[in-house]
Structure 1
Amino acid sequence: MAPLVWLVTGTTSGIGRALVDQIISRGDKIIAAGRKVEQRLGSIKSDSVALLELDVAAGREVITAKINEAWNIFGHIDILLNNAGMSAIRSAEESDDAYINTMFTVNLFGQMHITSAILPLLRARAAAGKPARIGFTSSSTAWAPLPFMSHYAASKAALSAYVEGLHKELKPLGIQCVAFECGGCLTHLGQPREEKPAAAAATTTGEESGGALKAYEKGFADLMGMFGSDPMAFMPGDAARVAERMVAVVTMGLGVEGGVTGKKWAVRVVLGSDAYDHVRQKCEEMLKLTEEWKYLSYSTDRDGYGGVTQRSYLDMVSILE
């Protein structure tokens, strides 16, 4: 089988760097994208490893040009992994527009711009019988937001919802999508971006983390105290193993399938024991709440509706294959 061609964003550290190693070990070709990528990954360049300077916050026109450049490196791309992301901690009240815009640009809008730019090219290949895959690195905080990380959680929740809808649009065209909702993992995700894009970059130092308002001091101290009591207890993930599982899932049916043979495609995949527990707890609690408030939900229906949701609608929004 011919080697697959991958485009992976956010490859200079953490899960992204582990993805590069995993893909190289398969014998595939990769376009490793990121900021200062030549400086950080220049030593691994080869005939099968290309580097692409790419800031996901650069804007639609710049990103479209970069995607066309990436496509021409090896003549096509089989798999896109939207892995780039950022995290920061700040109270919602003290989050200014620059902070919020940067968070959503890096974690959501940039992923959308990259995906939109590559879709015409992937669709053309899929129409010729060459299926494509698009993966996204999301977070279990999409299910379980923490205080002082409301914007990060919101950006990841929006990303996972976007992937669900996108998969339903693209599956009939021969393109499958998946959001990897990862738990705690030892990476550099919380570190500030070195350069500021159009909107000032978010940081995680000093007052930028906890904020200046005394009203939030106790809540922030409680959060930091929880993590500080035993930091490793909240970071069970191993970046290399996370990358290995991501590659195994996204290549189902395209080659070697490590650990996922026989599984149906899943549009949302939870990675990490902590992520599993976050999602399970949220689903159980949400079911409990919806049942407790069911009478209120049904009370808003118009007279004569009957309280029966159309089966066709439920089938359309299902995440099960």
Structure 2
Amino acid sequence: MTNLVWLITGCSSGFGELFVRQLTAEGDRVVATGRDAETRLAHLKETGAAILDLDVTLPQAEIEKKFKEAWDIYGTIDVLVNNAGYIQCGALEEISQEELQRSFDTMVHGPINLTRAALPYFRQRGSGWLLYMNSQSGFVGEPGATAYCASKFAIEGAVESLSKELAWLAPGIKPLIVESGIHGTEVMAKIQHVPSRVPFWEPLNEAARVRSRGNYENPAGSAPDMVSKVIQIVKGTGIAAGRDIPLRIPFGSHCLSEMRKKIEQLQKTYDDWESVAISTDLEEGKIPMPRLPDEK
């Protein structure tokens, strides 16, 4: 397969760094980005990747300038990998509005702004991949992880809507949400815990700290293996050969187990409350807007 050009955010460590190293080893061209790139991405220069300073929390206009700068390096971009992020722990009552906003700026507005910047280029060419490195926390809420889960849930909803918009009018552009369980990366060692602001929640906070240390010291999954498989999915090789690619793909048995558990709970709720749910229906056949192609 022809080698691709990738733009990747959050490359200082973790999944981002792994993408850069694996892709350049395969002969693909990469624009590796991050904040304070000259310093924080210096260890990636040996890979041959282009290094670009990019803070995903910049305003839309600045993001668009940065995307064009990245595009102009190789004259194209085939795959945008929205990977930048961090984990902020703390109970809902203790998380401040400012802390919640920082999570949304990085993991919701950042990817959405970059997507807006990429779409005109991808539409003109008629193709492109939009990857969102997400988490099981985008489907299953976790105690003590309000800010992280809220932002991950939000980007799931935004990208699901985007996928239906693209399927209708730009089917050559493919979004993919990677729902990762616990894999061994440095992000688990960099979790930010809010100060103890409400004594009532201290047992929860301490449990979150213990869980974080355990996840870092004994991860459940191989991060390099996961990144390798995501690359195969984009290229249609290996595990992805001959398969249709869905909007979401989970990684990790614990992730899959937690998601299935929630689906079972939801199904039971919908079955138990079906009669109540349909009791508010008005007369059938009234459609508030034209049906989209994927609607039955």
- Give your verdict on TM over 0.5: yes
Aligned runs of 1:145-164 on 2, under 5 Å? Answer: 145-164=141-160
Paired residues of 1:83 and 1:136 also in contact (CA < 8 A): yes
The answer to whether the aligner puts 1:288 opposite 2:268 as a matched pair is: yes
Does the 8 A contact of 2:189 with 2:216 survive in 1? no
Match for residue 231 of structure 2? Answer: 247
Matched, 1:204 2:204: no
Equivalent residue for 1:26? 26
The Cα of 1:268 is off from its aligned counterpart by 0.5
RMSD, aligned CA? 2.6
1:236 aligned residue: 220
Shift in Å, 1:12 = 1.0
> Pairwise mapping of residues 158-307 of structure 1 onto structure 2 (< 5 A)?
158-171=154-167, 172-173=169-170, 174-190=172-188, 204-205=192-193, 208=194, 211-225=196-210, 230-231=214-215, 235-252=219-236, 257-302=237-282, 304-305=283-284
- Measured in 2, the distance between the counterparts of 1:26 and 1:44 equals 15
Unaligned runs of 5+ in 2: none
Report how far residue 233 of structure 1 moved.
Answer: 8.7
Displacement, 1:220? 3.0
> Which residue in 1 is equivalent to 2:130?
134
Report the residue type matching 1:284 in the other structure: E
Provide the rounded CA distance (Å) in 2 between the counterparts of 1:225 and 1:97: 25
Secondary structure of 1:259's counterpart equals helix
1:205-230 deviations in Å (ceiling 9; x for gaps): 4xx25x321221233344445566x5
Closer, same or farther: CA 74–48 of 1 in aligned 2, 3 Å: farther
How far did residue 315 of structure 1 move? 6.9
Q: Is the 8 A contact 2:21 2:47 kept in 1?
A: no
CA positional deviation for 1:313? 5.9
1:106-145 superposed matches below 5 A: 106-126=106-126, 131-145=127-141
- Contact 1:12–1:40 (CA under 8 A) maintained in structure 2: yes
Cα-to-partner distance string for 1:14-34 (whole Å, 9 max, x where unaligned): 011111111112211000011
Pairwise CA distance, 1:48: 5.1
SS in structure 2 opposite 1:58? coil
Q: CA distance change for structure 1 residues 121 and 96 in 2, over 3 Å: closer, same or farther?
A: same
The answer to whether the 8 A contact 1:143-1:278 is kept is: no
Cα gap change, 1:47 to 1:139, in 2 (>3 Å)? closer
Equivalent-residue separation in structure 2 for 1:71 and 1:225 (angstroms): 43
Gaps of 5+ in 1: 193-202
Q: State the shift of 1:157 in Å.
A: 1.1
Asked whether the equivalents of residues 185 and 216 of structure 2 are also in contact (C-alpha less than 8 Å), the reply is no
Task: Provide the residue aligned with 2:10 in structure 1.
Answer: 10
Tell me if the contact between 1:177 and 1:267 (Cα under 8 Å) persists in the aligned partners. yes
Residue 76 of structure 1 is matched in structure 2 by: 76
**Compared with structure 1, are the counterparts of its residues 225 and 24 closer, same or farther at alpha carbon in structure 2 (3 Å cutoff)?**
closer
* CA distance in structure 2 between the aligned counterparts of 1:136 and 1:283, rounded to whole angstroms: 22
CA distance in 1, matches of 2:47, 2:145: 41
Q: Aligned pair in 2 of structure 1 residues 177, 233: CA closer, same or farther (>3 Å)?
A: same
* Residues in 1 aligned to 2:215 and 2:153: alpha-carbon distance in whole angstroms: 24
Asked if 1 retains the 8 angstrom alpha-carbon contact of 2:6 and 2:31, the reply is yes
Query: Cα deviation per residue 1:142-198 (whole Å; 9 max; x = unaligned)?
Result: 121111112211111111122222122223421011000100122232566xxxxxx
Q: Is the 8 A contact 1:227 1:234 kept in 2?
A: no
Residue of structure 1 in register with 2:103 after alignment: 103
Contact 2:142 2:149 in 1 (8 A): yes
Is 1:138–1:179's contact at 8 Å kept on the other side of the alignment? yes
Question: 2:294 corresponds to which residue?
Answer: 316
Q: Secondary structure at the match of 1:184?
A: coil
- Indicate conservation of the 8 Å contact 2:177/2:249, yes or no: yes
Which amino acid in the other structure matches residue 268 of structure 1? R
Report if the CA contact (8 A) 2:8-2:30 is conserved.
yes
CA–CA distance in 1 between the matches of 2:98 and 2:120? 32
Deviation at 1:72, TM superposition (A): 0.3
Q: CA deviation at 1:260?
A: 1.5
Q: How many residues align?
A: 293
In the TM superposition, what is the alpha-carbon distance from 1:204 to its structure 2 partner? 1.9
Percent of pairs with identical residues: 30
* Paired letter, 1:90: G
Whole-angstrom distance in 2 between the partners of 1:40 and 1:248: 28
